[in-house]
Structure 1
Amino acid sequence: MASEITMGLAAFKSMMDIVGGMFALKSETEKNTAVLELQRRIFEAQSLYSTAVSRISELEQKVVSMETWACEKERYELKAVAAGRFAYVLKADMQGSEEPHQICASCYQKGVKSILQSKRTEVGRYRMLFCPDCNTELNLTVAV
């Protein structure tokens, strides 16, 4: 980001140098060449400005996303859902009208809220929780 600003300022300085030097030019050819160079530098500066604006927008979106996740992740706590198997569980005081649920510990660490889904396997009839995003499976119990 700082390099784009530095390059933009350098482009602006060179444009000002060209404009300042245009007064000393005598022939039309020299003036036309200087105008073309100035136009090229203006286009270059506009391109750098556009890139910087785009990057700023990306960074602002990233900050908003990080702030949103910081608030959201405070609603969960790490708990054992079975022996040796962990998930982030919605805190009781944060539930409100939302159904109780667990989110994937692996996805949580990556800043993603992925609600674990329940399923039973046909082989052995194990009850499991699985993450639809990263395919993590937590074997919970043996069905009776």
Structure 2
Amino acid sequence: MDLMSGVAITKQIYDLLQTIKEGRDQKLVSDAAGNLSEKITALQMLNTELSGFYHSECQKTMKLSQENSKIKMFISNIEHYALHKTPAGSITYIPKDTPDNEVPLYYACAHCYQKAIVSMLQPDKRDSGFHMLYCPECKNKFKQSLIPLKSPNMPNPFRY
């Protein structure tokens, strides 16, 4: 059903009420009362459907408003970060210099950053001779730096 159906049903209800009000014939009044009951039920169903549509649209509007706020906040913060290549070659973001270095240096995940999320990379297990970082949000891993080899006087345990 749509809004025009609701208008049509309302007109039919009005006509049936006029028939009942002006009716002198009991059969005609009974038939009109039965039709009136059907039309009222149809109108109630339309009202329920419209109420559901209204609630759904309100939820969509609220969600879009929240996403819009999130995007605006990210855009206002984006100027505080710069692309950075770790010593091992991974691409991340780092905060730009702040006055008096009040924010400690940290790496932000480039993958999450593209989705308007600033996720601080965390230390991970060493892997293939590199210090590793991982993103707690998307679980990507980044090579931070090469693990230095032992001093030349010490034997390399990885050499056979």
TM-score computed with the length of structure 2 as normaliser: 0.72
Look up the match of 1:93: 98
Q: How far did 1:121 drift?
A: 2.2
Distance of aligned partners of 1:36 and 1:52 in 2 relative to their CA distance in 1, 3 Å threshold = same
Q: Bigger CA drift: 32-41 or 130-139?
A: 130-139
Q: How far did 1:78 drift?
A: 0.3
In the alignment, which of 107, 119, 140 is matched to residue 114 of structure 1? 119
Distance of aligned partners of 1:14 and 1:94 in 2 relative to their CA distance in 1, 3 Å threshold = farther
Question: Deviations for 1:81-121, whole angstroms, at most 9, x for unmatched residues?
Answer: 21532211100037863222110112212222111223562
Cα separation, 1, equivalents of 2:99 and 2:111:
21
Residue correspondences, number: 134
> Would the aligned equivalents of 2:88 and 2:143 in 1 still touch at CA under 8 Å?
no
SS of residue matched to 2:15: coil
> Would the aligned equivalents of 1:128 and 1:141 in 2 still touch at CA under 8 Å?
no
Look up the match of 1:129: 133
Cα separation, 2, equivalents of 1:122 and 1:83:
12
Higher RCO, Cα 8 Å, sep 6+: 1
Q: How far did 1:139 drift?
A: 4.1
Cα separation, 2, equivalents of 1:42 and 1:130:
52
> Would the aligned equivalents of 2:89 and 2:143 in 1 still touch at CA under 8 Å?
no
Q: How far did 1:55 drift?
A: 0.8
Distance of aligned partners of 1:32 and 1:73 in 2 relative to their CA distance in 1, 3 Å threshold = same
> Would the aligned equivalents of 2:106 and 2:121 in 1 still touch at CA under 8 Å?
yes
Structure 2: give runs of 5+ residues left out of the alignment. Answer: 20-31, 150-160
Amino acid at match of 2:14: F
Question: Deviations for 1:22-61, whole angstroms, at most 9, x for unmatched residues?
Answer: 2322421011111111111111111111111111111111
Distance of aligned partners of 1:94 and 1:29 in 2 relative to their CA distance in 1, 3 Å threshold = farther
Structure 1: give runs of 5+ residues left out of the alignment. Answer: 1-9
| Structural RMSD (CA) | 2.4
Percent pairwise identity: 23
Amino acid at match of 2:136: P
1:19 aligns with 2:10: yes
> Would the aligned equivalents of 2:88 and 2:146 in 1 still touch at CA under 8 Å?
no
